[in-house]
Amino acid sequence: MMTTNPTPQTAVFGASGYAGAELARLLLRHPKLQGRAPIFFGREDAGESVALAALHPQLADNNGTGSLRVEPFRWAALRERNVNVVFLATPHEQSRAWVPSLLSHGVRVIDLSGAWRLQQAENRAVYKFEDADAALAASIQQRAVYGMPELHRSALPHAQIVANPGCYATTVILGLAPLLRAGWADLERGIVCDAKSGVSGAGKAPSAKTHFMYAADNLSAYSVFGHRHTGELLEQLNVQPQQIIFAPHLLPIPRGILATLYVQLRAPKQAAEIAECFRSFYADSPMVRLHGESLPQIQHVAHTNFCDIGFALARDGQRLIVVSCLDNLLKGAAGQAVQNMNLLFGWQEHEGLL
């Protein structure tokens, strides 16, 4: 007689933000989680619970309200409620501090922050973490799986801690990985990554540079040679700092990232060869859409969990431009987290994402 695994109990910390709202929406509609709604936790000192629909009216039921609430967190609740997997949509420092205790409670963690993405100390230094137990943090760091299914699909089903990639990093890495794995890119001539993101990529907390009067009708570069996602590019693409330039920009739109990637090839290639390189690399990746020599646009990926990739090859066959774009709140955050959850539990990778 066949038996089926019980529906896992999910929990979300940090549902109040933009990515947290998308995560709540995806989990509430996920076909494998029906009948067992996520638990939404807020701050330990939050006092009383608050209705999820009060934070995100788009998640209200047909009466305009809803029964789900964001409740103050209690460590005992993890065992009392039989939580299997926790999503952290929390600040980097909070995730870094909480994950050791979460793992000790026997739950699996999918962390949307940058707390556990970087294996090399020199790259992680940008976050200035101060670990209470450095040895324990180092042990957890070694076990953390970088949550990009297209690169680490085989490792994810066994992971206890999944470090969900950054939004810029996902866009750039997916656009470059096939070429670098094939050894086609001339790294001595360098790669330039010109990436532009909508304002929601900066998070929900307002700042002078995300204020409407600054961002509207404007385009600005920021954090050049110092962006936190640069280390992810170096580690996941296995390149040196002098071999890649990453320049992020703020777009006056709510959501979406478009990265234009300038690559010199080591030897001339035909467009058909470039297309086949990407096609074979992503043959088993349902969340990557390849456009060949048609260049993708943000409007076609907004509100989806797809990363769209296209390219243009110069007549000399060596100057190549790759355009990669995605929704920073979905494939760049919450959607990719759900994609990783699907792999943790042996479900189809695209479950609940199409």
Claim to verify: residue 176 and residue 322 sit in the same structural domain: yes
Domain count, the chain: 2
Claim to verify: residue 56 and residue 126 sit in the same structural domain: yes
Question: What DSSP string describes 269-313?
Answer: --HHHHHHHHHHHTTT-TTEEE-TTSPP-GGGTTTSS-EEEEEEE
Active site residue: 167, 193, 307, 325, which one?
Answer: 167
pLDDT, tens digit, for every residue of 19-72? 999 999 999 999 999 989 999 998 877 778 899 999 999 998 877 668 899 999
pLDDT, tens digit, for every residue of 162-187? 999 999 999 999 999 999 999 999 99
Claim to verify: residue 196 and residue 81 sit in the same structural domain: no
Statement: residue 299 has pLDDT above 50? yes
Percent of the chain with pLDDT over 70: 97
Query: Residue 135: pLDDT band by 50, 70, 90 thresholds?
Result: very high
Claim to verify: residue 296 and residue 154 sit in the same structural domain: no
Structure tokens at 38: 């996520």
Q: What is the pTM of this model?
A: 0.95
Query: Residue 147: pLDDT band by 50, 70, 90 thresholds?
Result: very high
Claim to verify: residue 155 and residue 280 sit in the same structural domain: no
pLDDT, tens digit, for every residue of 270-293? 999 999 999 999 999 999 999 999
Domain assignment present for residue 37? The answer is yes
167 noted as active-site residue: yes
Statement: residue 3 has pLDDT above 50? no
Claim to verify: residue 160 and residue 180 sit in the same structural domain: no
Claim to verify: residue 113 and residue 210 sit in the same structural domain: no
pLDDT of res. 44:
74
What domain range includes position 270? 167-326
Claim to verify: residue 141 and residue 202 sit in the same structural domain: no
pLDDT of res. 5:
61
Q: What is the CATH number of the domain that holds 80?
A: 3.40.50.720
